[in-house]
Amino acid sequence: MIPPKMLRYFLLLAVFPSIWALVHTHYFAPVYWHSESATSSNKYLSPQLWPSWSSTEFIESSVEDTTSITQIKSKVIVIGDTRASASGLGPSARWPSLTHAFKKHDASILVHLGDWVQDGSSPREWQQSLASLSLLDQMKLITVRGNHDRGGLFEKLGFNDVPNTALRMTMVGSILFFLLDSEVQTKVAQSSVDQLFEQGKIKPKLRSLLSKSKARVWIQHRPVWSSGNHGSDERNWRHWLVPKLEALKIDLMLSGHDHDYERFCPSMGIDEQRRCDSRGITYIVSGGGATVTVPLPNLSWKQSAKLKRDNDRQRLVFSDQAHYLYLEVKNKSLNVEAWTSRFVGQRQRFDQVKIPLKMNHFTR
């Protein structure tokens, strides 16, 4: 039995960093991007996007047409949920230190997992976020829409180069990215994924693209599996989505939404058939750009006790550290590193995994 005084002490230790980060957001964070140079230059008034295409257009185009996007290094930075925790502010207090740490890596592409702002219909918040892109220097963006980004300005301001498309695709070197908008209606999302298949089999042109890529990464804002505050599979998509991901031989699925870091074992199956399997998909939740992070797993009241136990069995790492990911294809593996940065000039790696690429020729 933990004495009440000691329990209060531990709770204070757990919540103080988040309280400080929230105060920091209100009073200090804005100074980083309110400089005259950042707000007066047209250079940063629109996102600098890495090109993507609707899945149909990408598949139907010849591989030669995508040569320009395959010549770049197979290295990317990934971050999610960089919104402030309060309205009217735009980026979180974590953004300056994390973006500074990006520059320590040899990567020119940033993949954002959604939730740029707290209120997606607020021009002021989007203006702040656009101005804060000056901290990225010349990095190009690949991003999906988060639930807080809804409201029309995400598309109007150019964060999506293929508006009104549920599923997009692109490549960075030898990494093939699938970008699913988890905020569309279920029937729209399911239809867009179904279009990758023909009579239950992967379309021949897509199979050719899959065989030529070394790594396949699926991106969407809301996670399929999560022990964070939102819990697993809010949209109830996994029963139709996971089998399709497994058919596509996806190596890694990345999501944000929950403000923590969580890495599960490579797995196959859903519900009672879900199991760790080295041939399966690695699922990572990475909402580490948020001002306030989740200190412990399984705090969600939405999740059943059984699903929490299932996640406990599958989980390898859980952390409340503000963070970003560094992905690199190297020596027949997809290397994933999780880095934290508490202040500008400081960074520390706290997790890493090498995902074997057993399917270079689309075979296991």
Q: What CATH number does domain 4-356 carry, 3.40.50.300, 3.30.300.20, 3.40.50.620, 3.60.21.10?
A: 3.60.21.10
pLDDT at 361: 52
Q: What are the percentages of helix, strand and coil residues in the chain, rounded to 5?
A: 35, 25, 45
Could you tell me the two tokens for 241?
Answer: 């989505």
**Average confidence (pLDDT) over 213-229:** 97
Residue 91 DSSP code: B
Question: What's the mean pLDDT when you consider all of the chain?
Answer: 87
CB neighbours of residue 164 within 10 Å = 10
pLDDT in tens, 42-90: 444 689 999 999 999 998 875 455 666 777 899 999 999 999 998 899 9
Query: Is the separation of the CB atoms in 181 and 164 below 8 Å?
Result: no
Residue 276 has pLDDT above 50, yes or no: yes
Residue 33 has pLDDT above 50, yes or no: no
pLDDT band at 293 (very low <50, low <70, confident <90, very high): very high
- Return all residues near 35 (Cβ < 8 A) that are at least 6 apart: none
- Return all residues near 309 (Cβ < 8 A) that are at least 6 apart: none
User: pLDDT over 70 for what percent of the chain?
Assistant: 84
Give CA–CA dist 206/187, Å, rounded.
Answer: 22
pLDDT in tens, 174-206: 999 999 999 999 999 999 999 999 999 999 999
Residue 13 has pLDDT above 70, yes or no: no
pLDDT band at 138 (very low <50, low <70, confident <90, very high): confident
Residue with tokens 């971050």: 79
- Return all residues near 330 (Cβ < 8 A) that are at least 6 apart: none
- pTM, two decimals, is 0.88
Three-class SS state of 356: strand
DSSP-assigned letters across all residues of 104-128: TSS--EEEE-S---S-TT-HHHHHH
pLDDT at 290: 94
pLDDT at 32: 43
Residue ranges covered by each domain of the chain: 4-356
- Cα separation values, 331 from 105, 222, 230, Å: 18, 30, 36
